[in-house]
Homo-oligomer: A and B are copies of this chain.
Amino acid sequence: MSVVQAKRARGRPKKTESEKDEGNRRQALIAAAGYLFKTQGFDATSTREIATRVGMQAGSPFYHFGNKQDLLMAVIVEGLQQAIVSQHVALLLAQEDEPWMSERQRLGVLIRHHLNVLLGPNSDFIGVMLYEARSLTQAHRLIVHQLSDEYEAAWIPVLDKLSQQDQLAAPVKAARLLIFGALNWTVQWFAMPPSASKSKDTQRLGLDELADAALQLFLKPV
């Protein structure tokens, strides 16, 4: 068995195979599933299609995942964990540049980062979580909910302080839900530039402008 694997993985540095490889294949399945679930939806994507996309046979994904829903869960958890980590990093980096940040600036960072999570590279996983979480079992949905809360936790104190400073023109909770909605919905209309040639520039610009517009729209003028 391990001979067969070594044959296929030509030229790869020989490590303690069975482990590293399994991780790679698993990750490949998650990536392929993420892309297909995002583009076609969970129900409209067959496990065969996912398998083909990573060069496997029809039944092989079930060696890595118990069933199709576990694969969906893996995609969503992967996306949420990435988002939580990168959100922390974004806040820390901004803090370095601007040691005494205003709450307004902090919200700006959160919004800009969130748009990147939703629309930037590697945004398939979160897209799946936003629009396909319905297909999860209730137990899985609960876990997803907890991770989402963890992500949103960074926003609460910022919005609370902005509200205390009278920069928010609506009740905090409603404001938070409406703001998240406005941002999450961008997935529906903010088309990414099709090719990857000069896309890096136009993309960045678009996201920056959009983040500014959102910040200005939601907060009272300074």
Contact = CB atoms under 8 A, between A and B. Distances in A.
Contacts of A175: 213, 217
Given A181-B183, A181-B188, A185-B184, A170 B213 contact: yes
A139 interface: no
Nearest to A134: B41
Chain A interface, DSSP helix/strand/loop, else mixed: helix
Contacts of A214: 170, 174, 178
Contact of A171 (B42, B179, B184, B213): B213
Counted per complex, copies of this chain come to 2
A99 to B, nearest CB: 28
A201 interface: no
13 contacts: A41-B135, A44-B135, A168-B217, A169-B216, A174-B209, A177-B185, A178-B185, A180-B185, A181-B183, A181-B184, A181-B189, A218-B218, A220-B221
Interface of A: 41-44, 131, 134-135, 168-171, 174-175, 177-186, 188-189, 209-210, 213-214, 216-221
